[in-house]
């Protein structure tokens, strides 16, 4: 353990990663054009690559996951429609209510079960009859992983089959789709093929949004995948939302590099999250949720809870960055290593044993 190394260990989010030297080299080497004229070869190549990897007709490169989800919801729904979504889903809770504000699409939020799923019975009960009193229920939006939790594949199949039977479209916020695929491959036995698991997840949906700027380590960008006809509508909305970018191949090249080099290594982030969780579990005053992917949630209890205000500043003063107060969140990623986890545990121990 490099105890004298004061490089911050930034566990606030997997968005904080810096592009690696090889990724920067790929960006600098990328051929560029104007993507509003559909003339950026690097953007076109990325869109074709992610669509083919996930088994969709086409894909659209987006500046952010928020804009990608917004374009998806607005392409699936009209004014006065509603979409069914979890209370803790990013699209509902963390995107400024964009679907309602910008699209007049009403969310119908449902409570999650402890494993992150929405009860099938709750989904079914939330679908409104065709009656002038009600908004038209048009879409089911799920998220995987959700707060680091892997939704079971058989659940995804059942929920999306129910939605299909009720005439709803299905959208997946797969900001961390590849974390889900890596975790699913790991529990699926020795044959676990990450790309196959990713396709099995997204096959349940009409559209999927994936982030390159989270665990994949690219600086910017998401992709929205779906049918050509769906993406033609999303493309118009992206333009309206100000998301028509020009020489964005510079960014697409980073995303493309990430797809080639940073997907399978997500298993390392998951292993570090487990290591961190195991270490934290030994400390007093903490209740640690077993991580399934790269996010560790920890509740402060007893004496530790009484000192909660002081913990995040104490960690920050020692170069360990986390978010939360009574419930802390630690996220592992490309720029966190075993030494960083060891330092985090040492500083947590110092605080809790004081």
Ligand X SMILES: *Cc1c(COP(=O)(O)O)cnc(C)c1O
Q: Footprint of ligand X on this chain (CB under 6 A)?
A: 64-66, 69, 90, 143, 173, 175, 211, 213-214, 222
Q: Which one-letter DSSP state was computed for residue 292?
A: S
| Cβ-based nearer residue to ligand X, 73 or 127 | 73
Closest CB to ligand X among residues 208, 298 = 208
Q: Considering beta carbons, is residue 69 or 207 the nearer one to ligand X?
A: 69
Angle at alpha carbon of residue 336, lines to 332 and 342, rounded to 5°? 95
* H or E element in which residue 306 lies: helix 302-306
**Whole-number Cα distances in Å, 44 to 34, 81, 258:** 11, 32, 16
- Shortest Cβ 151–ligand X spacing (Å): 12
Tokens of 92: 């509902």
Measured CA to CA, the distance from residue 54 to residue 335 in angstroms comes to 26
Residue 213 or 248: which CB sits closer to ligand X?
213
Shortest-Cβ-distance residue relative to ligand X = 65
DSSP string over 315-334: HHHTTEE-EESSEEEEE--T
Closer residue to ligand X in complex, CB, 81/143: 143
Shortest distance in whole angstroms from residue 157 CB to ligand X = 20
Instruction: Find the shortest distance in angstroms from Cβ 178 to ligand X.
Output: 12
Min CB(211)–ligand X separation in Å: 6
Instruction: Kindly give the pairing relationship between strand 323-324 and strand 327-331.
Output: antiparallel
Quick one: 2 exposed, middle or buried, by C-beta within 10 A (0-12, 13-18, 19+)?
A: exposed
Q: Strands of 286-288's sheet, edge to edge?
A: 286-288, 295-300, 327-331, 323-324
* Cβ-based nearer residue to ligand X, 65 or 249: 65
Shortest CB 176 distance to ligand X, Å: 6
Closest to 224 measured CA to CA, from 216, 234, 214: 234
- Shortest Cβ distance from residue 28 to ligand X (Å)? 23
Work out how close the CB of 81 gets to ligand X at its nearest, in angstroms, rounded to a whole number: 21
> Which stretch of DSSP H or E encloses residue 5?
none
Gap between the Cα atoms of 246 and 130, Å rounded: 43
Rounded distance between C-alpha atoms, residue 56 and residue 192, angstroms: 21
Name which of 138 and 214 has its Cβ closer to ligand X. 214
Tokens describing residue 5 = 């190394």
Residue number with CB closer to ligand X (92 or 300): 92
- Smallest distance, ligand X to C-beta of residue 219, A: 11
CA atoms of 240 and 227, how far apart (whole Å): 20
């Amino acid at each position: 353990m490099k105890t004298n190394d004061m490089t911050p260990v930034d566990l606030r989010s997997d968005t904080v990663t810096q592009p690696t030297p090889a990724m920067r080299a790929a960006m600098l080497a990328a051929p560029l054009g104007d993507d509003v004229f559909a003339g950026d070869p690097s953007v076109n190549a990325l869109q074709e690559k992610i669509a083919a990897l996930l088994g969709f007709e086409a894909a659209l490169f987006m500046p952010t996951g928020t804009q990608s989800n917004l374009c998806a919801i607005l392409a699936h729904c009209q004014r006065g429609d509603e979409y069914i979504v979890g209370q803790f889903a990013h699209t509902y809770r963390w995107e400024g209510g964009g679907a309602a504000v910008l699209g007049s699409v009403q969310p119908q939020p449902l409570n999650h079960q402890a494993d992150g799923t929405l009860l099938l019975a709750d989904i079914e009960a939330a679908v409104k009859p065709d009656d002038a009193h009600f908004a038209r229920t048009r879409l089911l939006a799920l998220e995987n992983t959700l707060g680091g939790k892997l939704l079971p594949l058989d659940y995804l199949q059942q929920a999306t089959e129910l939605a299909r039977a009720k005439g709803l479209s299905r959208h997946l916020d797969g900001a961390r789709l590849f974390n889900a695929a890596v975790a699913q491959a790991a529990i699926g036995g020795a044959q676990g093929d990450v790309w196959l698991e990713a396709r099995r997840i997204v096959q349940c949906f009409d559209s999927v949004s994936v982030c390159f700027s989270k665990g994949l380590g690219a600086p910017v960008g998401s992709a929205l995948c779906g049918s050509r006809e769906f993406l033609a509508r999303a493309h118009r909305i992206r333009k309206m939302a100000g998301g028509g970018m020009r020489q964005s191949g510079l960014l697409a090249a980073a995303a493309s590099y990430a797809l080639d080099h940073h997907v399978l290594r997500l298993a390392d982030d998951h292993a570090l999250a487990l290591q961190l969780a195991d270490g934290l579990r030994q400390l007093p005053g903490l209740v640690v949720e077993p991580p399934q992917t790269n996010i560790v949630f920890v509740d402060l209890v007893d004496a530790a809870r009484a000192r909660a205000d002081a913990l995040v500043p104490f960690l920050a003063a020692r170069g360990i960055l986390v978010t939360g107060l009574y419930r802390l969140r630690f996220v592992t990623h490309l720029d966190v290593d075993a030494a960083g986890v060891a330092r985090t545990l040492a500083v947590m121990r110092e605080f809790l044993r004081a």
